[in-house]
Each structure stands twice: as C-alpha cells, then as structure tokens.
Amino acid sequence: MKTLQIGAGEVPTLGQGTWNMGEQADRRQDEVRALQLGLDLGLTLIDTAEMYGDGGAEEVVGAAIACRRDDAYIVSKIYPHNASYDGVQAACERSLRRLNIDTIDLYLLHWQGHHPLPETFDGFEALKKAGKIKAWGVSNFDLENMEEALGYGAPATNQVLYNLMKRGIEFDLLPWARQRQLPIMAYSPLETHGPEQAALLGNSGLQAVAGAHGVTPAQIALAWVLHQDGVVAIPKAVDPVHLRANRAAAEIQLSAGDLAALDQAFPPPRRRRALDMR
Ligand code: NAP
C-alpha cells in the first residue's frame, strides 16, 4: 500500500474512520472486531474524536488496540470549545484515558472555534513536549484558515471532506497543500450514508468504471481518492465485507481513461467554492 509521512509517522494512505461507533452497547463487539480486522489488513491509521459517541468511539478504539498498541497510528480530535490552552491539556487527558494509551499519534482541532489559534497551538506544543501527543494538526480548515494557521505554527495535516462528489478542494486547498508537502486527510470518502451516498454509488459513470474493473462502485470511489497525491482516505466500515473490499480498492490501478470517465461523471471544480463540511 502507498504510504505518506504525517508528523513523526509513516502511514498507509488507507486508514479507518470511527464516526457513529461507540453509540450503542450492542454494536460494540462488532465495532471492535472491525477495527481489529482493519489492523490485520494493514489499515493502521485509526481516526476518532472526543465528539464521536461522546467519547464512546475512543473507548471502542481503546478496546481494539488494547493488546496491539504498536500496530496502530491513532488520530483523535478535540472539540473547538475545549481548545483553550488549559482545555487542550484536560481534553487530551480524557481522550488518553478513554483510548487507554500514553500518547496520541496525531491530535487535531476538529474545526475552528472561538479560542484563538495561537493559544490552541501553544496547548498542542505543550502536549507534544510532555509526550502526550506526537504531532498535531487541524480539520475543516479552508485555504484562508490554513494561511492564518501557518502564521502561528506548523499543522501536520488538514482533515477535510473529499470524495468524487465533493471535489472543491482541488481548486485551491489541495494544490496549495501539495506545494507545501502538507498531507490532506480525506474524510467521508464514500459520502457517509443516506441519499448522498446513494447518489454517489448510483452514478452511472462510476458504475461503468466499476463494471469494467469487475469491482463495486464504492471500491472505485475509494480508489479514486487514494489515487490523489498527498491524500490519506479514512473510510469507516463495520461490515467485514466492506473492510476487505476497501483494502482491495487500494490495489486498483485507475487508467487515464478511467480518470477521464470519472471527471466526466463528477466534473472537477472550475471556480472557488466554500469548503464542504459534514
Ligand atoms: P464514509 O467513510 O464515507 O462512509 C461510511 C459508510 O460507508 C458506512 O455506512 C459504511 O458501512 C459504508 N461503507 C464502507 N465501506 C464500504 C464499501 N466498500 N462498500 C459500501 N459501503 C461501504 O463516511 P464517514 O464515516 O462520514 O467518514 C469516514 C471517517 O472520516 C469518519 O468515520 C470519521 O472518522 C471521519 N470524519 C471526520 C469529519 C471531520 O469533521 N473531521 C467529519 C466526518 C467524518 P458499514 O459501517 O456498515 O461497513
């Protein structure tokens, strides 16, 4: 699998998401097993957040990596309202406790809130010095937010919504990040669920490319994100069939013809758009 340097770690460009995990006790075992299967398949980057399931998702991750901490690269995210200097220290301690680990590999500001960025970033640097996190970054930052952020520190990544239907970052943020060798972490690479996911996976252009490869539309949608330079994708999957399909998608080679067909079905942006968010 392709790898990318993020902060101190070299990570495969296909990871695992955890949004909607940790919300229901009767689903917990399946979620733990799914993350463990993902690790077995080499999807070592696990993305979570204090927000997901009110900490429940971090507990699921903690259970999944309990006997194999060294197999995983853990990303968690702090709520903006907790991102004062002291709030950062306290939130990180709570996350570490739920994850049952000593160090978070990458700690992100979930989105920009009312606390000044220099204060939040100072908090992150203090955590780094104390060995509580290895690197820090941001999420849901548009180009202006990123330029402002770079004035105060050096985020290791920006995690943003990116998939075939939400290509806005290709106009400005993605080329800007590539120029600076700043990895982008693509969330919701399969459009999450519901009507939006149905519109993506039901697209006839996508289905034609999938048919030609003998794979599913979801696999092509994921292979397309993974094809992009400097991008990590973090699909969430609990169904083991989905996990294996996603791992296999990392091996799909898209031809110039496939890429052109996908551009026709999902045209790239021709002008600046507001950052898509979920
Ligand atoms: P997603 O990964 O685009 O889609 C997840 C959905 O797709 C689940 O219902 C999953 O089903 C299904 N799925 C997975 N693999 C599939 C496959 N091969 N074929 C068909 N269906 C498949 O959505 P997401 O959860 O919104 O995004 C991924 C992760 O990004 C999140 O979990 C979270 O960690 C992160 N995220 C971050 C932000 C942010 O603000 N920073 C926002 C949203 C998400 P099963 O679970 O049943 O397998």
Q: What CATH number is associated with residue 186?
A: 3.20.20.100
Locate 57 and state its tokens. 């998702």
Q: Is the CB of 27 under 6 A from ligand 1?
A: no
**Radius of gyration over every alpha carbon of the chain, rounded to an integer in angstroms:** 18
Q: Which residues of the chain have pLDDT under 70?
A: none
Nearest protein Cα to ligand 1, atom 18: 242
pLDDT score of 19: 98
pLDDT score of 7: 87
pLDDT score of 263: 98
Examine residue 79 and state whether it is found in any structural domain, yes or no. yes
Q: Determine the atom of ligand 1 nearest the C-alpha atom of 190.
A: 3
- Cβ contact 223:250 at 8 Å: yes
Residues 196, 177: Cα–Cα separation, whole Å: 27
Number of domains, the chain: 1
Examine residue 126 and state whether it is found in any structural domain, yes or no. yes
Examine residue 258 and state whether it is found in any structural domain, yes or no. no
- Residue 65 CA to ligand 1 center (angstroms) comes to 20
Examine residue 206 and state whether it is found in any structural domain, yes or no. no
The length of the chain, given as a count of residues: 278
Q: Is the CB of 215 under 6 A from ligand 1?
A: no
Which domain, by its residues, includes 135? 3-191+231-237
Largest CA distance in the chain: 54
Active-site residues, by number, are: 52
- Residue 44 CA to ligand 1 center (angstroms) comes to 16
Q: Determine the atom of ligand 1 nearest the C-alpha atom of 57.
A: 34
* Listed residue (80, 20, 84, 81) closest to 47, CA to CA: 20
- Residue 17 CA to ligand 1 center (angstroms) comes to 6
- Close Cβ partners of 104 (under 8 Å, ≥ 6 residues apart): 74, 75, 76, 92, 95, 96, 132, 133, 134
One-letter identity of residue 95: S
- Close Cβ partners of 134 (under 8 Å, ≥ 6 residues apart): 7, 8, 9, 103, 104, 105, 106, 128
- Close Cβ partners of 230 (under 8 Å, ≥ 6 residues apart): 4, 174, 177, 178, 181, 182, 183, 184
Q: What is the pLDDT of residues 12-33, one digit of tens each?
A: 999 999 999 999 999 999 999 9
Examine residue 15 and state whether it is found in any structural domain, yes or no. yes
- Residue 107 CA to ligand 1 center (angstroms) comes to 20
Residues 85, 116: Cα–Cα separation, whole Å: 10
Q: Determine the atom of ligand 1 nearest the C-alpha atom of 187.
A: 30
- Cβ contact 115:97 at 8 Å: no
How do beta strands 9-12 and 3-6 pair?
Answer: antiparallel
Examine residue 88 and state whether it is found in any structural domain, yes or no. yes
Examine residue 66 and state whether it is found in any structural domain, yes or no. yes
**Was 193 annotated as part of a binding site?**
no
Examine residue 144 and state whether it is found in any structural domain, yes or no. yes
Nearest protein Cα to ligand 1, atom 42: 278
pLDDT score of 254: 98
